[in-house]
Chain A
Amino acid sequence: MKKREKILRINGDILSVFRICNEVGWESLKEISVYRIIYISSVLYSFKYPSKENPFSEDYDFVTSLRGPFTEDIKISLTNLLVNEYLVENGKQLSLGKETSNKIDDLPKYKEKYNWFEVVIYILAIYGEEKIYDFVVRDPEYQENLQTNSIKEINIEKGNKTYSNLVKLKETFERALGESANELDDKKYLEYYFDYIFSKILRGELDHEL
């Protein structure tokens, strides 16, 4: 029963991702992008809400794989959503199917996670779906697990390496701007963080650096 509830919650997250992606003009997604978007959202959550419990923690056990962060449960959910026509597959692309459900709104912490997905996807959409790979492959927490060949699940809790980097970025702005930094909110820091990573990637400066 517990497993079934978990899959339902993950179903809800996946459908949220597809709905928000539709709003930014991504009508379909590669399966691998679904894993990556949920991973990025989960690893960054505690930066925005440091005093809240990370709602992704109870459902996601990401491990490193050759294709990026992976968890069997997303795989199961995707199959479930495809079989029930909430999603349809066209080649290697997935998109929303003819079935829709309003019940997912009632899932625990659904709205909280939906709002957070919205923040993350709207930032990712600035760069395009094809750039999500660049961000995930250079994500400090993911890289640490990869480099140490860790078989343990990736830490998405507060204090993970990505979180620590964001905190450092924020402290740097606060040091440089003094009190004026109060005018910047955490969402803005997230944007700067992505901006910083992608500008480095574009200049080819982040290939080996953690």
Chain B
Amino acid sequence: MLAEFLQYLFTGVTIGATYALIALGFTLIYNASHVINFAQGEFLMIGGMATVSLTAMGVPMVIAIVLAITLAGVLGIALQRFAIAPAKQADVVTLIIITIGASIFIRGIAQLVWGKEYHVMQNFSSDEPIRVFGAVLNSQSLWVLGIGAVVVVALVLFFTKTLIGKAILATSMNKEAARLVGIRTQMVLMLAFMVSALLGSVAGIVVAPITFTSYDIGIILGLKGFVAAAIGGLGSGVGAVVGGLALGIVEAMAAGYISSDYKDAVAFSMILLVLFFMPRGLFGAKVVERV
């Protein structure tokens, strides 16, 4: 009984941690610009695919990972510079549609460059699973959780301790006021895209040994990440983490205890329920309209 429960929990927490990382990326850009960046899943794909192809060329894994993350960061900046920035005063909805276009474009390029096959990435450490009270834990799951935790702590520090982090927060709270105190909001926006691309690519790299990776892996994982962010309340960092973990665990429990057929249905009912009773999500900020 316990073994069974633990097994579902491990599965859920692992995949939930990935959702959380993706959700954080959504949150970051949403905070800085109120744009929901649907190209977030593509950063994930770039991270995984670039690492796989670089290691296949003989680059040592660590360097390949660094290069892949850098590539994603550059791509994040390019996305903001060449797709979002030129649309300057456009509506948020327009910007969201631009990100959808960008995601299709990136996916298309990836398909041309890397082909359509699925690729394998080696586990970071041993392939031997770890046994805990009769349940089995993939060693890569520990990497996912560990790196996820490190990233979350780093983000918290970044936003509370550094000037740039505070500038991003300030911009998210009030763009006009931020500009008045001398924050270059375009720069902040670019930074937000870069950091969120870095986050996405890290998520893509740590889960690739578990899920495999391919040019279209970003579609469904990106969508799940968005669901997680929405459950947590768009714009809330804690919400993204809690939303991601909750989504992952509910999915795994539903697959194990109810039926795998209803797994996705349960997950999506959850978002309906949450948004029905708490329209701003679990940790969503209360918005007061000032007249």
Q: Do A and B interact with each other, yes or no?
A: no
- Give A residues with C-beta under 8 Å from B: none
